[in-house]
């Protein structure tokens, strides 16, 4: 315990000295997130400095092993880093699907050569990854995917189409589910493979969403040649890797529901709506919605903390991330419904400078995808019913 307290005070001091003041302010636009990659651009000098200092300390991913560019911290230490960063409102220095999705899968299923090849480039922000999972006819029923990988000597030749590929147009590499055995049962003929998005035959097309943004793409593969050594895990056993990765994806998405930083919702609403003589929000019904929301938000934060602690203690149910994903995304949708109601007319402006280009309504519309992407709320409830509650026929 004494060691941990020492670690905490050292961490606090280091962050105090190294996190630029600009990087402690709440993020207000998409460019505040640094994704890394071959074409990465920093939106400010402070963003560059913060990223490089954290990278050099191994703290873009504090809990990964040092030999792969991580910080080599154990669970307790990594929790302290998170807590101390949260305490000063420090932004994530690097956001990436390599960290939140591919990395955990590679650490579990990758060969040593694959880990050494890919993980250091993730922690150093050199390669930006995207996820090739969904297809036009494989959404909730993901395992029915049809993108084919046909054997040709030491390579696979890949043909097919993915959809809802987040930031495929900016990504350097893709981790992709492909069908390597069309004759097998649907879960048994899938492989998990990695390849360069600059490969011949790969093309992307952004999809315009209701928010006016295009975070997702259609991604096409036309005779893309990929070495068989790029398969992670066993050929035709990719579904195991896919499911494991989904647990991490769901945990990441559920985290969207607990962004308790920044100003409390009640105060944001009071600024816009005003207060009565007793200082209470001048919309009694909205006030009660916000209060109930904040109860649930605090409870979710405790549950997220507990989920990490349970995992550390070896007591976690592997399907629990589905429970957290369900609750976190539904909560985030509630947050934005409240924010829209609190903002009233001001939250309707779509293009003005004053509204930062309609940041709030666009973010509100974006949250509607939370309960769809990474497995719909209904799929999550089905997984809980089947794998945790063991209900028949689920």
List of residues contacting another protein (CB under 8 A):
264, 266-267, 269-270, 275, 279-281, 287-288, 290-292, 294-296, 298-300, 302-303, 305-306, 309-310, 312-313, 315, 320, 323, 326-327, 378, 380-382, 384-385, 388-394
Q: Which is nearer to another protein, 116 or 263 (CB)?
A: 263
In the complex, minimum distance from the CB of residue 161 to another protein, in angstroms, rounded to a whole number:
30
CB 84 to another protein: min, Å: 16
Query: Cβ of residue 290: shortest distance to another protein, in angstroms?
Result: 7
Which of 55, 250 has the CB closer to another protein?
A: 250
- Nearer residue to another protein within complex by CB, 190 or 300: 300
In this structure, how many other beta carbons lie within 10 angstroms of the beta carbon of residue 16? Answer: 10
List, in order, residues 6 or more apart from 167 with CB less than 8 Å away. Answer: 35, 128, 130, 215, 217
Residue 323, Cβ neighbours under 10 Å: how many? 19
**With the C-alpha atoms ordered 24, 172, 253, 215, is the resulting torsion angle positive or negative?**
positive
Q: Closer CB to another protein, residue 11 or residue 254?
A: 254
**For another protein, the closer CB: 235 or 319:** 319
How many residues in total does the chain contain? 394
To the nearest whole angstrom, how small is the minimum distance from the Cβ of residue 383 to another protein? 8
Closer residue to another protein (CB): 224 or 290: 290
Quick one: which H or E segment has residue 54?
A: helix 45-57
CB of 156 to another protein, least distance (A): 38
Quickly count: other Cβ atoms within 10 Å of residue 266's Cβ: 19
Helix (H) or strand (E) holding 184: none
Got the DSSP string for 36-103? -STT---SSHHHHHHHHHHHHHTTTSTTS-GGGTS----HHHHHHHHHHHHHTTPPPS---HIIIIIH
* Residue burial 151-179, b: 16+ Cβ < 10 Å; e: rest: eeeebbbbbbbbbbbbbbbbbbbbbbbbb
Pair 320, 329: CB distance under 8 Å: no
**Bridge partners, residue 157, by sequence:** 150, 225
**Closer Cβ to another protein, 199 or 376, answer by number:** 376
Measured from the CB atom, is 103 or 343 closer to another protein?
Answer: 343
Give phi and psi for 226, each to the nearest 5.
-135, 130
Element holding 34 (H helix, E strand): none
Write phi, then psi, for 19 (nearest 5 degrees): -90, 115
In angstroms, what is the minimal distance from the CB of 69 to another protein?
Answer: 27
| Smallest separation (angstroms) from another protein to the CB of 394 | 5
| Paired tokens of 232 | 């992670």
Measured from the CB of residue 378, what is the shortest distance to another protein in angstroms?
7
């Amino acid at each position: 315990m004494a060691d941990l307290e020492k670690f905490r005070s050292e961490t606090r001091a280091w962050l105090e000295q190294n996190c630029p003041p600009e990087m402690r302010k709440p993020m207000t636009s998409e460019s505040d997130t640094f994704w890394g990659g071959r074409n990465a651009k920093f939106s400010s000098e402070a963003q560059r400095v913060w990223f490089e200092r954290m990278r050099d300390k191994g703290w873009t991913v504090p809990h990964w092993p040092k030999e792969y560019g991580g910080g080599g911290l154990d669970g307790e230490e990594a929790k302290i880093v998170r807590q101390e960063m949260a305490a000063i409102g420090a932004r994530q220095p690097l956001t990436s699907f390599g960290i939140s999705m591919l990395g955990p899968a590679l650490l579990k299923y990758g060969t040593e050569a694959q880990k050494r090849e890919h993980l250091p480039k993730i922690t150093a922000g050199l390669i930006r990854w995207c996820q090739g999972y969904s297809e036009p006819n494989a959404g909730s029923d993901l395992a029915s995917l049809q993108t084919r990988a046909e054997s040709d000597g030491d390579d696979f030749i890949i043909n097919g189409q993915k959809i809802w590929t987040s930031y495929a147009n900016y990504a350097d590499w893709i981790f992709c589910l492909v069908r390597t055995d069309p004759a097998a049962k649907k879960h048994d003929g899938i492989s998990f493979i990695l390849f360069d998005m600059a490969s011949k035959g790969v093309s992307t097309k952004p999809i315009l969403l209701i928010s006016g943004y295009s975070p997702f793409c259609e991604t096409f593969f036309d005779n893309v040649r990929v070495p068989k050594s790029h398969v992670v895990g066993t050929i035709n056993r990719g579904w195991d890797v896919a499911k494991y990765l989904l647990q991490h994806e769901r945990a990441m998405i559920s985290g969207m529901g607990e962004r308790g930083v920044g100003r409390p919702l009640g105060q944001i609403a009071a600024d816009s709506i005003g207060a009565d003589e007793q200082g209470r929000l001048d919309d009694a019904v909205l006030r009660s919605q916000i209060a109930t929301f904040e109860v649930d938000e605090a409870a979710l934060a405790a549950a997220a903390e507990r989920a990490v602690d349970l995992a550390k203690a070896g007591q976690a149910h592997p399907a629990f991330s589905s429970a957290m994903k369900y609750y976190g995304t539904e909560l985030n949708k509630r947050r934005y419904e409240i924010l829209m109601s609190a903002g009233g007319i001001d939250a309707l402006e779509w293009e003005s400078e004053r509204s930062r280009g309609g940041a709030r309504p666009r973010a509100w519309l974006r949250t509607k995808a939370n309960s769809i992407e990474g497995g719909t709320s209904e799929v999550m409830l089905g997984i809980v019913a089947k794998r945790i509650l063991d209900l028949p026929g689920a």
